[in-house]
Structure 1
């Protein structure tokens, strides 16, 4: 949250300075049309967010509305939240200790769009599944006609961003996103050069990347070089598989009705076998590897390492998956290393996320920040479009391109930071993973605790890695235990809560 606040402050100050110098003529023209103390009633533009509260309204204004409001004093911009954080924070807990049912965000979102005083603009932060459902429920205005009418430039927008938006909108545009983040594959140049092996390139398949990872893995103990990691800090093998390897395959754990497990299949068997092998062969570090010996210096003395646990920066991982924000950390490490060579650093570059042969051309997750759409029932759709066009235009993108943590959606403004030379296109060259199906999203709301059927696979997969179970037996066991959980939830949907929420679904497979 601190990063967001810092960025919002930088953005606001930059907006004030740049706009006052370069857009003064527009400001004066706008003022001549506005209130200006003449008593003319201001037009109202209502902008809705899924979550808000009085505490974070100022942050939302800094991020989305301050620059526009400076140019349009004739507008009264109102911020509306579908779900008020304070309502959740100060909700009284029942004496019986049972969990309080939390509001359904989508239900609250539709109330905000369809109520007596509907919002004009809706902002969906990094949630394209909600965008897809709003489109299917005819709650948003199609933007293609407005784009054409106003000759709004979308040719300069990053293809993966437009592809992600169109995927959610049945090949039409119902929202625009000014910024985004995406995953790519970072690699250590020195490790590959020392091993005499060609480094990874754009467009590689997972099997080829993991084969390279095996070739460069070497050493023992806290000196071992690992060929690959699923993230900076490593993690649990099961969730590494779920979050980084599986999404592009779009394999399901259970069917769309949430009544039958689908894991006992040849596709899942291949995934289990592949993933288990890279942990068995110590190609990928475990949490134990990450925490082992990382703070030891010479003669066994403990030493301070600001990048404790980040094996890539410490030169012990050849390739790792990371978002664009990792560029900032790698750059900072290099700068600090120039001042103090005890601070670790790495000579790196980046290529596209590995692809699956069964689904080529699809990369990692693309996170669309601040997706902005017009309510189909907007009272002020004209200003709503102008607001969206401004926030997604090139002039405003120039200011946002200074961000250290996300990228602007305009290709012409995407350049490596601080004069560096790395493969910027790697973050947006591939198509994004399509948004999750609305049927699955609906299941999470209607069947609380259904994800328990997924969680049960965690221990089972670990037993495959440990050599205690074969892949075949593991998938059969996961299918059996998962089906028992799904059956119980079907019989009592409101009783199958996640244990963290007070549920008892774990008793089905405990033991």
Structure 2
């Protein structure tokens, strides 16, 4: 048996190498091979300083292997190793550096980086400040086929550059609406479809919600397990496409007490009160009434208690697929058919999803010492050969449509992941704010979460809760402004 196992492993390895090396050989750039002189390509990342092996495995090893004369240096804007020696303040917290300013610092000076890797927020600001090189002339010159890039990526990047392409993202993460076919069939209700509005989805969710207590089947949830009543999604993914302002530019005034925010809160609290969406109390019912809960009772979608849920690519290829494949081995588990559709959108932002993440955007520094090598690297990462290799990932998608397919043995609406447009915030997002102020801004979210729960319980109206949040939030913003290091401010509150 061991001999057979060894032979099988050897064959798999041999086949893998047979596939990989020809591809890597094809990736080799002739221009760089002709030059024997070593060239250094410096790539700036936001965080680093300890072990950059993961980043290298993901993005640079293949390039260095096929470009023998190029040495890649990873330059962190914020160095974890340096930070651990920073003196904490009187509250025991270390000051969080300004990420944007840290990135700008490594892009300038005597030895600037050639390439920068950023997320949506940083990319948009660097493009706005004229610190990135337009890739359009090089794309046209080298005839890089951007038509093969999914709309969720290429349209978003162009939008953030006001029509100019200042970077390319070889991968992206996205979510879809997963739905249980059996629940809709049993209820005699038509299943969801691509390009719905949120109101249309909520209407379907109401029509398939049935039962009581532990037998309740809920129509929809932002997550597969009840947690905070959807507050986090309400304050980010759900409202991101609407560009609702959370705080003003001076960070002195909370902007949540508005008709737009009131409408969003009204929609979600109505679903919770009508038991169309589950709350954390519904999770307690499972454990209170069932002394020996099943292995998937915490997952309301897999356990059949949720008709529709927001799900990402990793969840589908991981937990969901594994459970369905092994259903016969799981006691008292009944498998079901499922499929996916696009994330709904708001009428004011048709086709725009707040669930598309571009966290690795590669751009060329306007002051890059080696712009030719920098472009060769960016082009390599976004080329067909690299995309083919990377398309085997089970948790994120490559940006080229040609290489996006459901894993072997699966058959679902894969286009739902990319036939949307990403939201492109026009101002500082809530996440941007959370990285500032020495962590104090997290308290604003906790204030809002508390007020939201009061509404769900019926203790306050939405108007009262938003007014209370505005008042308390403005007081906290003033305290943060007067005491940026946290002095005199209530202790930082995590999560909830």
TM-score (norm 2): 0.89
Any residues of structure 2 matched to 1:244-259 within 5 Å, and which?
244-259=237-252
- Secondary structure of the 1:79 match is strand
Q: Please state if 1:103 is matched with 2:92.
A: no
Who is 2:226 aligned against? 234
CA contact (8 A) 1:222 1:294 kept: no
Q: Distance in 1 between the 2:14 and 2:225 partners? A: 34
Structure 2 gap ranges (5+) = 1-12
For residue 324 of structure 1, the aligned residue among 313, 336, 354 is 313
Who is 1:6 aligned against? none
CA contact (8 A) 1:252 1:263 kept: yes
Cα 1:435–1:267 shift into 2, 3 Å? closer
CA deviation after TM superposition for structure 1 residue 92, in Å:
4.8
CA deviation after TM superposition for structure 1 residue 165, in Å:
0.8
Q: Distance in 2 between the 1:475 and 1:330 partners? A: 38
CA contact (8 A) 1:188 1:349 kept: yes
Cα 1:17–1:133 shift into 2, 3 Å? farther
CA contact (8 A) 1:33 1:74 kept: no
For residue 371 of structure 2, the aligned residue among 370, 381, 384 is 381
TM-score (norm 1): 0.86
Cα 1:26–1:273 shift into 2, 3 Å? closer
Who is 1:5 aligned against? none
Q: Please state if 1:44 is matched with 2:40.
A: yes
Q: Distance in 1 between the 2:202 and 2:421 partners? A: 21
Q: Distance in 2 between the 1:185 and 1:478 partners? A: 31
Who is 2:60 aligned against? 65
Who is 1:38 aligned against? none
Post-superposition Cα deviations, 1:441-461, rounded to whole Å, max 9, x if no partner, equal: 876677553453343222112
How many aligned residue pairs are there? 479
Q: Please state if 1:204 is matched with 2:196.
A: yes
Who is 1:18 aligned against? 19
CA deviation after TM superposition for structure 1 residue 336, in Å:
1.3
CA contact (8 A) 1:256 1:439 kept: no
CA deviation after TM superposition for structure 1 residue 268, in Å:
2.1
Any residues of structure 2 matched to 1:373-452 within 5 Å, and which?
373-435=363-425, 437-438=427-428, 447=437, 449-452=440-443
RMSD: 2.8
Q: Distance in 2 between the 1:461 and 1:393 partners? A: 46
Post-superposition Cα deviations, 1:334-389, rounded to whole Å, max 9, x if no partner, equal: 11114445456432111111211232221232111421111111111101101111
CA deviation after TM superposition for structure 1 residue 398, in Å:
0.7
For residue 76 of structure 1, the aligned residue among 64, 68, 71 is 71
For residue 133 of structure 2, the aligned residue among 141, 147, 150 is 141
CA deviation after TM superposition for structure 1 residue 208, in Å:
1.5
CA deviation after TM superposition for structure 1 residue 16, in Å:
5.9
Cα 1:267–1:168 shift into 2, 3 Å? same
Cα 1:458–1:161 shift into 2, 3 Å? same
- Secondary structure of the 1:325 match is helix
Any residues of structure 2 matched to 1:81-480 within 5 Å, and which?
81-93=76-88, 96-124=90-118, 127-237=119-229, 238-293=231-286, 302=292, 304-305=294-295, 307-328=296-317, 329-340=319-330, 342-343=332-333, 345-435=335-425, 437-438=427-428, 447=437, 449-480=440-471
Q: Distance in 1 between the 2:55 and 2:429 partners? A: 31
Structure 1 gap ranges (5+) = 1-11, 36-40, 504-511
Post-superposition Cα deviations, 1:391-434, rounded to whole Å, max 9, x if no partner, equal: 10011101111110011101111112223221111111121111
CA contact (8 A) 1:30 1:71 kept: no
CA contact (8 A) 2:246 2:430 kept: no
Cα 1:396–1:439 shift into 2, 3 Å? closer
